Structure 1
Amino acid sequence: VFCMFEDLLIETFVLNSMLVGTVMRKIKSRTWKKQRYFKLQDDFTTIWYKSKKAGNAHSTFSVSDVEAVREGHQSEVLLSIADEFPAERCFTLVFRGRRSNLDLVAESEDEARSWIHGMRKLMENLENMGERERLDQWIGDWFKKADKNNDGRMNFKEVQDLLKMMNVEMNEHHALRLFTMADKSQSGTLEDDEFVLFYKMLTQRDDVLRVFQEFSSDGHKLSLADLEDFLREEQLEADADEDVRQRAEQFIQTYEPSEAAKLLDSMTLDGFLMYLGSAEGSIFNPRRRNVFQDMSQPLCNYFISSSHNTYLMEDQLRGQSSVEGYIRALTRGCRCVEVDCWDGANGEPIVYHGHTFTSKILFKDVVSAVGNYAFKVSEFPVILSIENHCNVEQQRVMARHLDLILGDKLLKSTLEGSAHIRLPSPEELKGKILVKAKKIGGLEDSLNGAVEDALGGEVSDDDEGADIDDDNLHRESVRRRKSKQRLSKELSDCVVYCKSVHFSSFKHSRIHSKFYEVASFTENKARKHLREAGADFVRHNSRQLTRVYPTGFRTDSSNFNPQEMWNAGCQIVALNFQTAGEAMDLNDGLFRQNACCGYVLKPGFMTNPEQRFDPEAPRRQDGHRPVISGQQLPKVNIKEDSIVDPQVRVEIHGVPLDQAKQETRYIENNGFNPVWYDTLRFTIHTPELAMVRFVVEDYDKTSKNDFVGQYTLPLSCVQQGYRHIHLLSKDGTSIHPSSLFVHIRITEMEKLPENP
């Protein structure tokens, strides 16, 4: 009890000091160090800061935007000033999405510790917040924004302004009627409880009320039997392992706010809304959020979340190189990162995009970052894909850094000291970092000790030289020059199960390739093989790993569509993680399942070499049909009088025969609670490979629609019935409480009526 009381006192002291505020240095570089006054706002969710010299200029950020707090010199910027400021006074706030980090130096060690502890506590409180608390906080935030004169109440003019801020165009007469009904005190203003009442009336969910009343025996509540019927008939919970009655009881106890209703084993409309807005009520099946797949199969049987030019934060020509790229990719579940290595000064290899103006970082710093962050979010193996342009001496330095920095994490030998006939599994390789690069000889030669040091005639550049594409002919001359470069035995020995090899043909691979050899293709070459020999490509990938990377012409770090590569069973489909858009939405969607561990088991028909699957000619068919309504969609135009005209597009990504998209009509001037009641239907032939992407846009008659939000997931993870889709930003971060409400049915084609 004393310890708990002591912790409470410390927490109170820390938060009080944050409320008072602190002067700290904001660091952008070794030469850019400015003092800023930081202060926690009274809502305990917003940090406000300003410059003493900038007049009234100030900035804010939400605690919910912060993903992590790093102590000490854990960023390149803070490392650059390590000789000036001790680690105990330094910390970094890491933001969600692609927003730059905030590097800070406090005036004292105690102040730094207070802010580090305080930020983590505030983040923990937000994380533990229930759906109702989150909504109450969101409502409170809008109240403060609309209460222009800060008197704790809102007049009708402020309410009208609020409605526009909240993305809804409402008839003035209707708005005044709701305002008057909510003004119980008849003061001409709305106070806290009255505003909550106004919000409830404003957000009345007729779509949910209709479903509620359909299953309610008395029209006022759902009895335990009513809720059980709803879960079984509409939500198809009968397919779950648990007893449906048990789940109904659990949902009442978890989501019903009324204690009286709980005692009666029943659920009110408020409880029903809370359930539908929860993880159990979402479109993503919660049973697929944990590691649910068999992780004991060979590595080649899994799709692997993979990054291209991981060190780049921007474009491929002048962009910044940073170890932060590795940290961000690994903390997003990425399991294969790329390192382009070149000879550096003072015998230290460097990493950058060769022959460009991108900045340079030290190879040893990259290895340290990988070692520190490889297993923060996933315990399954990380593949270090090395593009080696270094001389033999610096290759030896690379090998030394890998060995000393990674230690036992680095896989240096086969798991049982002898060659196997297949790749090991993610389960067997837990906690291990594998190097993918050129290797002298094969595993058999290494085990027999038959390899000589610095073997001549081995190509030491990697993937991008190993696959000569039509649009990258200049790489051929590079490869020929490099072919005389020697490969050091020390670096070669770091390669065990991922030997980079040149690809000749599927026939040659079938006869000569070893299970540990990895071929790499540009997206164009992979596409060509897919068109000409799709089934052979799938069979090739059932035996060994394949890496696909963007063409050299994507200098803006744009991405290709990964789906077509997954259709061929390619495991390492490398994307530019720093670039938001459809490709990364699909990547995030696929790897959202299985605990975001970075490995997703391929369908069985893609892992059996004896089974023929051609993505160009699939056979089976399923049906999928969603869209009903949307809630609290964000504004996309900063103008206060701008209201969203929302339209929903549902896209199916899969084998070519399944590629499809359909749209709802658009709703004029209502991004707050638009209702469509449109039905969209799709025929899906290979559901095991299908991804579903929901996109909300602001319709525009004269120009391209503006993006509002999206959510992407595998069809196999879709829960049927009435479900909420919690929308994400272009960066893939939550934009709570923005959502869509849909009804979904997936039906075998032969079971559908003749004229659906």
Structure 2
Amino acid sequence: MREQQMASTQSGLRIQGDDNLQSMFVGAVMRKIKSRTWKKQRYFRLQEDCMTIWYKSKKAGNAHSTFSVSDVEAVREGHQSEVLLSISDEFPPNRCFTLVFRGRRGNLDLVADSAEEAQSWIKGMRKLIENVENMGQREKLDQWICDWFKKADKNKDGRMNFKEVQDLLKMMNVDMNEHHALRLFTMADKSQTGSLEGDEFVLFYKMLTQREDVVRIFQDYSGDGQKLTLRDLEDFLREEQLETEAVQQRALELIERYEPSDTAKMLQAMSIDGFLMYLGSAEGSISDPKHQGVYQDMTLPLCHYFISSSHNTYLLEDQLRGHSSVEGYIRALKRGCRCVEVDCWDGPNGEPIVYHGHTFTSKILFKDVVIALGSYAFKVSEYPVILSIENHCSVEQQRVMAQHLNQILGDMLLKSTVDGNTTNSFPSPEDLKGRILLKGKKIGGLEGSMSGVAEDSLTGEVSDEDEGADIDEDNHHNDSIRRRTKKSKQHLSKELSDFVVYCKSVHFNSFKHSRNHAKFYEISSFTESKARKYMREAGAEFVNHNARQLSRIYPSGMRTDSSNFNPQDMWGVGCQIVALNFQTAGVEMDLNDGLFSQNGRCGYILKPEFMRSAERGFDPDHPQNYDGYQPLKLSIQVISGQQLPKVNIKEGSIVDPLVRVEIYGVPLDHAKQETRYIDNNGFNPVWYDTLSFTIHTPELALVRFVVEDYDKTSKNDFVGQYTLPFLCIQQGYRHIQLLSKDGTSIPPSSLFVNIRITKIT
């Protein structure tokens, strides 16, 4: 098995001619750096499977560690991490590199013995990462099987006896009857050696994973039970997948793309293997591939979009003692975030610093944040980034901030209106591509800036909009903090003020005052509790306000654990900048990731038409009153699950999975229903349970699928989830690829469902 896998992988990578990969096979001693004082030598080597990096300490005897290439997201060259920057005087950048892992795992900072060795590993790792990203479904599955084989092959002899197979089944989350397991083992053991190797193990796995649910559908449409003819496949696409356009052409494309048998392709037919490959592909996914690219109109005013937004972006942990890091900005921007927050305070040596004021969080330089912003702002999305400044600095250090912004960002920083004059509405995301907008206090208005008339820096007294208000609004009276807030009134530097163009921070008085007096470029921030108060008292007015102005909502200051509020409530009244703690996993970030998973993950989602016009009078509490109201019925048959991950590492423990479907949207749409749980089977549980929902405002609804491990004595354990906008759902038989708690993929874990959406008359 190992030799086969190695040979196929090596030929796929053309390793024989690749000096970098050959060098990685030989291995290298490199320094693993954790801090300026923690620098240890480790021996690193690429394993024969081309998927695993093995490393060990020179002093630790037999102890070693490994990580998978598929867990590595990117390789950064040079001093591109805080840790490597801290030792930049000791090691030159051409010997340094950083491996960035998916999810919340910390980076691995390494220093090679030479620039040449560093380049070998940088180029080799990038090739391996590219290879993983380009793998087809079948290759990914083969790799997954191979990984399990290696885990179960305890004595490393490349064979697997029945005891090892039983252990493997438990590791793979399946509690199988011993007699049934032995029968499958014996059938797969073609060589009759009492052990499985190579193709025999693949055969065993295929028998183990026989998809009766898919076979049943296949045979319903197959004339002979062996294949789907072109006509059979067309019938399936029309009747089950509800496809209507060029169905014959579509069927031919699917055969060409997913059918592994050349004979079947020649007959213009699809085998069960091809059918499985199609249903497990992006085209067979619940999420419509047509919504994966940028498909929305990006030429409307900025206030007409929901904007992916982060709160306390510099924090990697909680907001009392957590670690502040430039990495927080890099991670948020790479997730498509388009509004990041910077809390700025006077620092030593005249250099402004960033941290959570009056707490024990660590501190970073403002300059380093701006450098990271310049490097990563437009890697994932070309649409504008808003830099939300919480300014606690003296005029002198504000001038330093302005200088850094100007020198580091250059033309990326928006310094004047797009068209050179002031119109009465925002430019669009399209107009502002590649630009960074500053959100903060401003001396005077945009009109004065354009005419060259502006007040002197020492007359522009400002106070911070956030922290003090936060305390009062949550009815927590802390005199010392309130005294500090009053003291925090300060002067604003003209240099920094001039860089605030379209996002002038202003105090919110009332909806009436805003309607009569607000300028289009003025933005107000609301703590979550204040926003909820306005939602309760005047939801429709809040929607109208957000049709004209930008609003930013941020978590309560009482959330010292950096937890989040439900962003859906705020989107329901049209608030654009709903800032969440990106560092905190949970349902709130699942919803944020779900909403922004569409439209090319560009960080901007066009609001529904009825929220973009003040005249429409949409009230989220009474959606049935708006013109165009059309409720829909969503019916979800939860059929089966595939290879669910284990959540309890206790030996012999198997998942008892249930599936819950949750709807988030306007208050009338909030609902949850769940299937029964299946005893002791996380490998291939089957439910055939149907859940039904009424969706009153489809344009605002999000659907979250959650798998949990049922426990009758305590809280269920989380297994996986997937969240998507209701309007992105494809009907028919669909697979849902599950995500972990921190939003990363956990292949090949999935759910298989059948979806129907019908109008309610």
TM-score, with structure 1 as normaliser: 0.96
Q: Distance in 1 between matches of 2:465 and 2:495?
A: 17
Report the more deviating stretch, 139-148 or 311-320.
Answer: 139-148
Structure 1 residue corresponding to 2:503, chosen from 498, 507, 513: 498
Q: Is the aligned partner of 1:312 residue 2:315? A: yes
2:756 counterpart residue number: 745
Q: Is the aligned partner of 1:392 residue 2:410? A: no
Secondary structure of the residue that 2:495 maps to in structure 1?
helix
Q: Is the aligned partner of 1:186 residue 2:186? A: no
Q: Is the aligned partner of 1:438 residue 2:441? A: yes
Structure 2 residue corresponding to 1:622, chosen from 609, 627, 632: 632
Q: Distance in 1 between matches of 2:511 and 2:458?
A: 28
Q: Is the aligned partner of 1:721 residue 2:732? A: yes
Q: Is the aligned partner of 1:287 residue 2:290? A: yes
Give the letter aligned to residue 633 of structure 1. L
**Alpha carbons of 1:478 and 1:543: their partners in 2 closer, same or farther (altered >3 Å)?**
farther
Q: Is the aligned partner of 1:214 residue 2:224? A: no
Q: Is the aligned partner of 1:454 residue 2:457? A: yes
Listed as ranges, the matches of 1:704-719 within 5 Å are: 704-719=715-730
Report the more deviating stretch, 39-48 or 385-394.
Answer: 39-48
Q: Is the aligned partner of 1:51 residue 2:57? A: yes
2:229 counterpart residue number: 223
Displacement of 1:452: 1.9
Structure 2 residue corresponding to 1:471, chosen from 447, 472, 475: 475
* CA distances 1:433-483 after superposition (whole Å, capped 9, x unpaired): 000000011111111222122142531424344665143555654443333
Give the letter aligned to residue 730 of structure 2. Q
Give the letter aligned to residue 588 of structure 2. A
2:5 counterpart residue number: none
1:733 counterpart residue number: 744
Report the more deviating stretch, 473-482 or 55-64.
Answer: 473-482
Report the more deviating stretch, 300-309 or 452-461.
Answer: 452-461
Displacement of 1:13: 2.0
* CA distances 1:365-391 after superposition (whole Å, capped 9, x unpaired): 101100110000000000000000011
Displacement of 1:278: 0.3
Give the letter aligned to residue 567 of structure 1. G
Give the letter aligned to residue 517 of structure 2. H
Secondary structure of the residue that 1:375 maps to in structure 2?
coil
Secondary structure of the residue that 1:229 maps to in structure 2?
helix
Secondary structure of the residue that 1:615 maps to in structure 2?
coil
Listed as ranges, the matches of 1:53-452 within 5 Å are: 53-238=59-244, 242-452=245-455
Give the letter aligned to residue 140 of structure 1. C
Give the letter aligned to residue 406 of structure 2. D
Secondary structure of the residue that 1:678 maps to in structure 2?
strand
Contact 1:463 1:519 in 2 (8 A): no
TM-score, with structure 2 as normaliser: 0.96
Q: Distance in 2 between matches of 1:462 and 1:75?
A: 32
Q: Is the aligned partner of 1:703 residue 2:706? A: no
Contact 1:463 1:500 in 2 (8 A): no
Q: Is the aligned partner of 1:663 residue 2:674? A: yes
Q: Distance in 1 between matches of 2:272 and 2:94?
A: 52
Give the letter aligned to residue 166 of structure 1. M
Displacement of 1:56: 2.3
Contact 1:438 1:462 in 2 (8 A): no
Q: Distance in 1 between matches of 2:344 and 2:17?
A: 46
Listed as ranges, the matches of 1:436-585 within 5 Å are: 436-456=439-459, 458-465=461-468, 469-471=473-475, 473-474=477-478, 477-483=483-489, 485-585=490-590
Q: Distance in 1 between matches of 2:143 and 2:286?
A: 24
Contact 2:520 2:548 in 1 (8 A): yes
Contact 1:281 1:724 in 2 (8 A): yes
Which contiguous aligned blocks of 4+ residues in structure 1 show a shift greater than 6 angstroms? Answer: none
Q: Distance in 2 between matches of 1:723 and 1:688?
A: 21
Q: Distance in 1 between matches of 2:437 and 2:301?
A: 14
Give the letter aligned to residue 408 of structure 2. I
Displacement of 1:322: 0.7
Displacement of 1:318: 0.8
2:21 counterpart residue number: 15
Listed as ranges, the matches of 1:670-709 within 5 Å are: 670-709=681-720
1:649 counterpart residue number: 660
* CA distances 1:98-135 after superposition (whole Å, capped 9, x unpaired): 11100000111111111101100000111110001111
Q: Distance in 2 between matches of 1:505 and 1:581?
A: 33
1:754 counterpart residue number: none
Give the letter aligned to residue 327 of structure 1. I
Report the more deviating stretch, 171-180 or 301-310.
Answer: 171-180
Aligned pair count reads: 741
Displacement of 1:190: 1.3
Structure 1 residue corresponding to 2:37, chosen from 28, 31, 42: 31
Give the letter aligned to residue 310 of structure 1. T
Give the letter aligned to residue 504 of structure 1. N
Q: Distance in 2 between matches of 1:669 and 1:552?
A: 43
* CA distances 1:579-602 after superposition (whole Å, capped 9, x unpaired): 111000000000000010000001
Q: Which runs of 5 or more structure 2 residues have no equivalent in the other structure?
A: 1-10, 625-629
Give the letter aligned to residue 218 of structure 2. F
Q: Is the aligned partner of 1:594 residue 2:599? A: yes
Report the more deviating stretch, 598-607 or 142-151.
Answer: 142-151
* CA distances 1:646-669 after superposition (whole Å, capped 9, x unpaired): 111110011111111111111111
* CA distances 1:524-553 after superposition (whole Å, capped 9, x unpaired): 110110011000000000001000000001
Q: Which runs of 5 or more structure 1 residues have no equivalent in the other structure?
A: 751-756
Q: Distance in 1 between matches of 2:265 and 2:246?
A: 19
Give the letter aligned to residue 634 of structure 2. H
* CA distances 1:340-372 after superposition (whole Å, capped 9, x unpaired): 000111111110000111111111110110011
Q: Distance in 1 between matches of 2:451 and 2:213?
A: 70
1:753 counterpart residue number: none
Displacement of 1:218: 1.7
Q: Cα RMSD over matched residues?
A: 1.4
Q: Distance in 1 between matches of 2:535 and 2:591?
A: 19
Q: Distance in 2 between matches of 1:476 and 1:508?
A: 26
Q: Distance in 1 between matches of 2:455 and 2:550?
A: 27
Displacement of 1:217: 1.8
Q: Is the aligned partner of 1:610 residue 2:620? A: no
Give the letter aligned to residue 451 of structure 2. N
Displacement of 1:216: 1.1
Displacement of 1:333: 0.3
Secondary structure of the residue that 2:195 maps to in structure 1?
coil
Q: Distance in 2 between matches of 1:368 and 1:639?
A: 45
* CA distances 1:290-311 after superposition (whole Å, capped 9, x unpaired): 0000000011100000000000
Displacement of 1:613: 0.8
Displacement of 1:54: 2.0
Report the more deviating stretch, 134-143 or 291-300.
Answer: 134-143
